[in-house]
Amino acid sequence: MTDRWISDGLLIVTVKCIPNSNSNSQIDRQGLVSLYNPIRTSSNPTTPIQIGNGNFAFGTDITSLQTFLPFNTLSSWGWKNDSLPPNVTQSDISAYEGVSWLNHGRPVQYDFNGNNKEIEQWLISNPNRVNLGRIGLVFLDDKNGVMNVTEEDLKNPRQILDLWSGTITSTFSIQNTSITIKVASSSSSSSTTNTIAIHLKSNLLSKHQLGLFLDFPWCDGTSKFNAPFVGSFDNFQTNHTTTLQTLSPFRNIIQHTLDSTTFVTTLNGDAHTIQRNDLINHKYTVLPHIQVTNTNHDSQWTLTVTFGKSTTDQTLQAKDIFKESEKVWEDYWSNGGFVDVLTGSTDTRANELQRRIILSRYLMRVNEAGDTPPQESGLVNNGWVQMYFWHSAHWALWNNWDLLLRSSSIYNRFLPTSISRSQIQQGWPSGARWPKMTDPSGRSSPGQINNLLLWQQPHPLIFAEYEYRSFPTRETLEKWENVVRETADWMAAFAWFNESTKVYDLGPPAYVVSEDTSPNVTQNPAFELAYWKFGLGIAEKWMDALGKNVPQSWIDVKNNLAPLPVDNGTYMVYEGIEKNFWDDPAYTSDHPALVGLHGWLPPTDGLDLAMAKATAEKVWTHWNRTEFWGWDFPMLAMSAARNGEPDRAIDWLLDPLFQFDDAGMPIGGTRVPTPYFPGSGSLLLAIAMMTAGWDGSKEEKAPGFPDGWNVTFENINKLL
């Protein structure tokens, strides 16, 4: 287990301007978006209402801050390393070696089952993402004593997230005095600092009875999977320190050092005093300096809180942050892809589907649009990171290139380490082997599945292809050239020519998409064979477009891959699997990638469409449905759509087991915590496909939607 993001990605690129389509939009975009503004009248104990920008997110309770519940403040830049285990040095860490397994008789070195468990665990736990701090309200009595206020003491609490401007507002009263809080996050991408703007309005301010507290938790590798709250606020002094630097009544700084990493929190804005509560904890109280007045007019107080890795000279004002948030969010809603399935639809589920689309669009931009590939739970809480495809491919179809290009650059960034993994560590003659789970340096996280999984390998080819479709220039071709070449080289090298059958086999050893087969016997998995063929086809076209020779090995492998394994009229998970695997829960309780043969993937050479459809339908009846989770539902929908069954496609998207909460957070279910964002990313991918269609789909209307749906879409690209 690891919190990590998967490797997959590519070059940093300048952001292209996409023409504003709002002005001539057929859809009342603002009206539709605003219909789904989440409104709460009490805190949800497990999911926050968030603001953020993809690299940073701030999760709030009913007060639009973190007053009663310590929801998290997470970023894509806030990492730390734990100190090394006793007697372990950095060179011991660098010298970590896993295990050697045979690949068709050749020993290959992998990062798992190393003989030093302590070092292996350290490599799994580090670096880990830090909860940058907590901000809440402090209530004082008329003698300046801190009052013990609980959420039950608030009267008429109401919190609303305004999706169109990315701001949250809470109102409530306490002791007959009303309080209004409005917050927004800095919206443009910054890889080192991010800011929260807070605007408070209440009579209690001028009476010196309302202020803020800040608190800083200890975080380490053990909090890597903490949900919904990350880190410990009780570990007062042992391993971390905070120091306050008071600069002026308008600007103050707190440094937080955990092991050898320091984060800096800067307060900036209206006059205030700040003090540490005592020397044991890491809690600070911030009180406004406001003249006591006799009027009953509400006083106002604004402050920005900037989290960063170092001090900045920035003196951001709250009003600038609010303005920026309005502009960036309006641009996002106005310019990217947009889908209206609500207006004019007669299916009663249209409202729920529209809600999921809008809220997923919001949450993806807050949580899954950073410089590094996202965690499964985005920036809501900590969780492991993988499946970059499901998290991020939708950005390409919804034309949010500025957001996708932030992270897809990792393919170029991780190319050297992936070449080294392939050729130096594992002894392959050529190519780059992409890791499944990695860290900001590109290192593969130790683990058997992480090291033997195959399906992450072709992903960069898909991202490259979508980018080329949108930006069909030589520049795009050249930007991806090395990644495409090294990716395909390893795919060709890994395919093993079987002298007795005269075809190229994939594996063993290998893990399939569902990660539930035995790696040493897993050979020629159906989905992976098809994905190899599809990926190599893209790589060939890439070289053709560049006017360069296509390596013969790619052509040989693509044309002579083992046939997809078949039995009694359906495809099988892998060649040699028990024929009755359909009735064995060991094989029918996880991701049903067989339905991806025609749906997620377009038809590959030699695919029998009738058999692919029969296979999908057999999955529907034989897989344990209560075990479907997350992206399985959109994958099932995409398969139904491509197989010409749009009624079923809609049923899968709205399956009772595929749930999104009131804030749009996809429910994790029994296997993973909520939110499980691959559910949202895959939903948006499926919606794009079902509206704009796919290569070869009928053009006349949204081909994945059945009668009863009036679907209007703008600026959405087709699925391959």
Ligand X SMILES: *[C@@H]1O[C@H](CO)[C@@H](O)[C@H](O)[C@H]1NC(C)=O
> Which amino acid appears at position 369 of this protein?
A
Q: How far apart are CA 642 and CA 310, in angstroms?
A: 51
Tell me how far CA of residue 210 lies from CA of 71, 117, 173, 181, in angstroms. Answer: 21, 50, 12, 12
- Contact with ligand X (CB under 6 A) among 249, 344, 429, 563: 344
Tell me how far CA of residue 211 lies from CA of 171, 233, 236, 501, in angstroms. Answer: 16, 20, 22, 75
Nearer to ligand X, 220 or 376 (CB): 220
Quick check: 235 binds ligand X (CB under 6 A)? yes
Nearest to 519 by CA among 529, 531, 532, 510: 510
502 to 521: interface string for ligand X, x by CB under 6 A = -----------------xx-
The two three-digit tokens of residue 561, written as one number: 């891959």
Quick check: 528 binds ligand X (CB under 6 A)? no
- Contact with ligand X (CB under 6 A) among 22, 281, 314, 343: 343
295 to 334: interface string for ligand X, x by CB under 6 A = ----------------------------------------
Nearest to 114 by CA among 105, 123, 106: 123
Q: How many helices and strands, by DSSP H and E, does the chain display?
A: 19, 26
Closest residue by beta carbon to ligand X: 344
Nearer to ligand X, 295 or 670 (CB): 670
The two three-digit tokens of residue 283, written as one number: 């809690």
- Contact with ligand X (CB under 6 A) among 176, 295, 348, 549: 176
Q: How far apart are CA 434 and CA 188, in angstroms?
A: 30
Quick check: 655 binds ligand X (CB under 6 A)? no
- Contact with ligand X (CB under 6 A) among 41, 83, 246, 273: 83
- Contact with ligand X (CB under 6 A) among 340, 376, 486, 645: 340
Q: Which stretch binds ligand X (CB under 6 A): 86-94, 162-170, 290-298, 628-636?
A: 86-94
The least distance separating ligand X from the CB of residue 587, rounded to whole angstroms, comes to 11
Q: Which of residues 672-701 bind ligand X (CB under 6 A)?
A: none
On whether the CB atoms of residues 668 and 380 are closer than 8 A, the answer is: no
- Give the residue ranges of DSSP H helices in 336-427: 350-367, 388-397, 401-408, 410-413, 415-419
Nearer to ligand X, 572 or 653 (CB): 572
Quick check: 710 binds ligand X (CB under 6 A)? yes
The least distance separating ligand X from the CB of residue 239, rounded to whole angstroms, comes to 4
Quick check: 246 binds ligand X (CB under 6 A)? no
On whether the CB atoms of residues 388 and 10 are closer than 8 A, the answer is: no
Q: How far apart are CA 666 and CA 626, in angstroms?
A: 16
Nearer to ligand X, 147 or 555 (CB): 147
Token look-up 């990660």 returns 515
Question: H-helix or E-strand containing 179?
Answer: strand 177-185
Q: Which of residues 192-231 bind ligand X (CB under 6 A)?
A: 220
Q: Which of residues 553-592 bind ligand X (CB under 6 A)?
A: 568-569, 575, 585
Q: Which stretch binds ligand X (CB under 6 A): 64-72, 186-194, 283-291, 497-505?
A: 497-505
Q: Which of residues 3-32 bind ligand X (CB under 6 A)?
A: 26-27
Q: Which stretch binds ligand X (CB under 6 A): 73-81, 155-163, 528-536, 546-554?
A: 73-81
Q: CA-based Rg of the chain, rounded to a whole angstrom?
A: 26
Quick check: 111 binds ligand X (CB under 6 A)? no
State the angle between helix axes of 678-692 and 646-653 in degrees (0 to 180), rounded to the nearest 10: 160
Q: How far apart are CA 699 and CA 230, in angstroms?
A: 48
Quick check: 169 binds ligand X (CB under 6 A)? no
Nearer to ligand X, 472 or 563 (CB): 563
Nearer to ligand X, 91 or 294 (CB): 91
Q: How far apart are CA 312 and CA 266, in angstroms?
A: 8
DSSP string computed for 132-159: --EEEEEEB-TTSPBP---GGG-EEEEE
Q: What is the largest CA-CA distance in the chain?
A: 94
Burial per residue of 481-509, b for 16 or more beta-carbon CB atoms within 10 angstroms, e otherwise: bbbbbbbbbbbbbbbbeeeeeebbbbbbb
Q: How far apart are CA 380 and CA 394, in angstroms?
A: 20
The least distance separating ligand X from the CB of residue 627, rounded to whole angstroms, comes to 5
Question: H-helix or E-strand containing 185?
Answer: strand 177-185
Nearer to ligand X, 695 or 699 (CB): 699
508 HSE (CA, 13 A, CB side): 15
CB atoms near residue 285 (< 10 Å): 17
Q: How far apart are CA 129 and CA 76, in angstroms?
A: 8
Q: Which stretch binds ligand X (CB under 6 A): 79-87, 327-335, 467-475, 476-484?
A: 79-87
Query: With left for phi above 0 and alpha for psi between -120 and 50, is residue 84 left, alpha or beta?
Result: beta
Q: How far apart are CA 96 and CA 119, in angstroms?
A: 7
> Which amino acid appears at position 129 of this protein?
R
Quick check: 175 binds ligand X (CB under 6 A)? yes
The least distance separating ligand X from the CB of residue 519, rounded to whole angstroms, comes to 6
Q: Which stretch binds ligand X (CB under 6 A): 6-14, 129-137, 232-240, 471-479?
A: 232-240
Q: Which of residues 413-442 bind ligand X (CB under 6 A)?
A: 441
Coil, strand or helix at 323: helix
- Contact with ligand X (CB under 6 A) among 188, 501, 696, 708: 501
Nearest to 534 by CA among 576, 470, 596: 596
The two three-digit tokens of residue 111, written as one number: 């990062």
Q: How far apart are CA 699 and CA 692, in angstroms?
A: 8
Q: How far apart are CA 281 and CA 214, in angstroms?
A: 11
On whether the CB atoms of residues 522 and 574 are closer than 8 A, the answer is: yes
Q: Which stretch binds ligand X (CB under 6 A): 202-210, 336-344, 486-494, 698-706?
A: 336-344
The least distance separating ligand X from the CB of residue 354, rounded to whole angstroms, comes to 11
- The secondary structure of residue 593, as a DSSP letter, is G
The least distance separating ligand X from the CB of residue 373, rounded to whole angstroms, comes to 17
Quick check: 144 binds ligand X (CB under 6 A)? no
Quick check: 173 binds ligand X (CB under 6 A)? no
Quick check: 248 binds ligand X (CB under 6 A)? no
- Contact with ligand X (CB under 6 A) among 238, 248, 291, 346: 238
Q: How far apart are CA 101 and CA 510, in angstroms?
A: 11
Nearer to ligand X, 109 or 482 (CB): 109
The least distance separating ligand X from the CB of residue 99, rounded to whole angstroms, comes to 7
The least distance separating ligand X from the CB of residue 510, rounded to whole angstroms, comes to 11
Quick check: 91 binds ligand X (CB under 6 A)? no
Nearer to ligand X, 184 or 573 (CB): 573
The least distance separating ligand X from the CB of residue 576, rounded to whole angstroms, comes to 7
Helix then strand then coil, % of the chain, to nearest 5: 30, 20, 45
- Contact with ligand X (CB under 6 A) among 14, 144, 150, 552: 150
Q: Which stretch binds ligand X (CB under 6 A): 387-395, 481-489, 598-606, 620-628?
A: 620-628
> Which amino acid appears at position 92 of this protein?
D
Q: Which stretch binds ligand X (CB under 6 A): 291-299, 486-494, 624-632, 652-660?
A: 624-632
The least distance separating ligand X from the CB of residue 449, rounded to whole angstroms, comes to 11
Quick check: 498 binds ligand X (CB under 6 A)? yes
Quick check: 346 binds ligand X (CB under 6 A)? no
Count of residues touching ligand X (by CB under 6 A): 40
Residues that bind ligand X (CB under 6 A): 26-27, 79-81, 83, 86-87, 93, 101-102, 126-127, 148, 150, 175-176, 220, 235, 238-239, 261, 340, 343-344, 441, 498, 500-501, 519-520, 568-569, 575, 585, 624, 626-627, 710, 712
